[in-house]
């Protein structure tokens, strides 16, 4: 019973992700989510008593999915700088393959009110902390010079987010993955590493 309930919740959240990304939070109705998830309206309200509650649960679900992918990519990187690069490359690659997820976390979440903004901001902070820890370790190992690890991590993530938001709004670059080598070269320059190693490199 519990496994069936979890599967139904996952199906509802996946359907809600598609509907919210297409229609936006304000225009989406619970009826639409129920139809998209092949769930009765009563069943939908049983799991998620309100539209706002569903959206918050969806933000958390999407954020957890993204963080899991980021941490998996970081685990196989050979050094702290590579782990930071892998984290940001994974964010770029994941959003490139899952445009609705990008719209939800980077556009809809920020436009949904204070509770939703707090959830989206918390996700960004977790990403900043992961990258900042890598940069601090790189400084400790002598791979890069002294720096403000948190500020640098926030700047790196901010650059990636800006490129993704521009892609969502304008469709440029046509392939989001094409931005990665240039972003990676920029990141490496910012911490005193040779950028030429980054150019031409595919996403991790």
Asked if residue 65 belongs to a domain, the reply is yes
Structure-block tokens of residue 100: 């609705």
* pLDDT at position 111: 59
| Same domain (yes/no): 190, 122 | yes
pLDDT, tens only, 54-83: 988 988 888 898 999 999 999 999 999 999
| Same domain (yes/no): 44, 70 | no
| Buried/exposed 151-169: b ≥16 CB within 10 Å, e otherwise | ebbbebbebbbebbbebbe
* Secondary structure in 3-state letters for 8-40: HHHHHHHHHHHHHHHHCCCCCCHHHHHHHCCCC
The total number of structural domains in the chain stands at: 2
Of 73, 66, 52, 178, give the one whose Cα is nearest residue 116: 52
* pLDDT at position 101: 80
Asked if residue 62 belongs to a domain, the reply is yes
Domain, as residue range, for 189: 56-197
| Same domain (yes/no): 75, 43 | no
Structure-block tokens of residue 135: 């940069």
Q: What is the spatial distance between Cα 191 and Cα 123, in angstroms, rounded to a whole number?
A: 24
Please say which residue of 11, 32, 49 terminates a domain. Answer: 49
Considering only residues 185 and 109, tell me which one the structure prediction assigns the higher pLDDT: 185
pLDDT, tens only, 109-165: 665 677 878 888 888 999 999 999 999 999 999 999 999 999 999 999 999 999 999
| Same domain (yes/no): 40, 75 | no
């Amino acid at each position: 019973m519990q496994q069936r309930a979890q599967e139904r919740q996952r199906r509802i959240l996946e359907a809600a992700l598609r509907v919210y990304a297409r229609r936006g939070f304000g225009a989406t109705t619970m009826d639409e989510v129920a139809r998209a998830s092949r769930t009765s309206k009563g069943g939908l309200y049983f799991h998620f008593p309100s539209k706002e509650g569903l959206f918050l649960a969806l933000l958390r679900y999407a954020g957890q999915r993204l963080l899991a992918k980021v941490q998996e990519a970081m685990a196989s990187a050979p050094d702290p700088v590579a782990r930071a690069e892998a984290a940001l490359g994974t964010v770029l690659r994941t959003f490139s393959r899952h445009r609705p997820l990008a719209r939800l976390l980077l556009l809809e979440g920020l436009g949904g009110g204070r509770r939703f903004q707090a959830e989206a901001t918390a996700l960004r902070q977790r990403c900043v902390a992961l990258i900042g820890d890598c940069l601090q370790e790189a400084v400790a190992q002598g791979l890069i010079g002294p720096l403000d690890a948190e500020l640098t991590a926030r700047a790196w993530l901010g650059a990636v987010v800006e490129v993704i938001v521009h892609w969502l709004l304008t469709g440029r670059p046509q392939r989001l993955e094409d931005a990665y080598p240039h972003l990676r070269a920029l990141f490496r320059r910012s911490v005193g590493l040779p950028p030429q190693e980054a150019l031409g490199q595919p996403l991790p």
